[in-house]
Structure 1
Amino acid sequence: MPYHKNKQQAFQAAQQGIEDVQGLYTEIVQDGASYGHQLKHLKNEVNEAYQQIENALEVASDHQRAQLERFRSDLETIIHEVNLPDN
């Protein structure tokens, strides 16, 4: 993924990242046999989404910045809900 993007592309990448994380989060079945695998996949997606948000924040408009901060807050909530360990 190229480092230099316009504001809209960077924002859309961050938005897609948070949507991917939210989708995985809703699919996790905590008592299922593949829970550990799902959790690892979720952790990878969370890390990628955080990076996309950070990249987008570098070029974001004020309106986009507010939404990106909400995305980051949503990620923190998901991490807390599943007790996802830090890196």
Structure 2
Amino acid sequence: MPYNKDEQQAFQAAQQGATEAFDSYESIVKDSADYGAQLKHLTEEVNEAYQQINNALENASETQRQRLEQYQQDLQKIVNDVNQTDI
């Protein structure tokens, strides 16, 4: 199977986007005065990561697809946690 540069670049962008979203989530301080701004930034990071993952899924190898789907599940856990915290 020939190396597909676009496939690899899309996967790496999705991987980086997911990592940035995870890092943003880990850095949130819920009792902080700027929690709202942190939450807004996290929302932007998560949305961007979802877009990058969906883009990468279009041409992903099976191994990449499994990793991307795991990123989606992990991002959903973040969304669920944030939504529960805000109730």
Shared fold per TM-score greater than 0.5: yes
Alpha-carbon distance in structure 1 between the residues aligned to 2:72 and 2:40: 19
Rg comparison, structure with higher value = 2
1:31 aligns with 2:31: yes
Unaligned runs of 5+ residues in structure 1 are: none
| Residue identity in the other structure for 2:23 | G
C-alpha deviation, 1:59, in angstroms: 0.8
1:73 aligns with 2:73: yes
Q: TM-score, normalised by structure 2?
A: 0.88
Paired positions, count: 80
C-alpha deviation, 1:24, in angstroms: 0.5
Equivalent residue, structure 1, for 2:58:
58
Q: TM-score, normalised by structure 1?
A: 0.88
Q: Deviations over 1:8-35 (max 9, x none)?
A: 1000000000100010001000010000
- The 4+ residue runs of structure 1 with deviation greater than 2 A are none
Identity in percent: 59
| Residue identity in the other structure for 1:7 | E
Alpha-carbon distance in structure 1 between the residues aligned to 2:46 and 2:25: 10
C-alpha deviation, 1:38, in angstroms: 0.3
| 3-state secondary structure, aligned to 2:33 | coil
User: Larger helix proportion, structure 1 or 2?
Assistant: 2
Unaligned runs of 5+ residues in structure 2 are: none
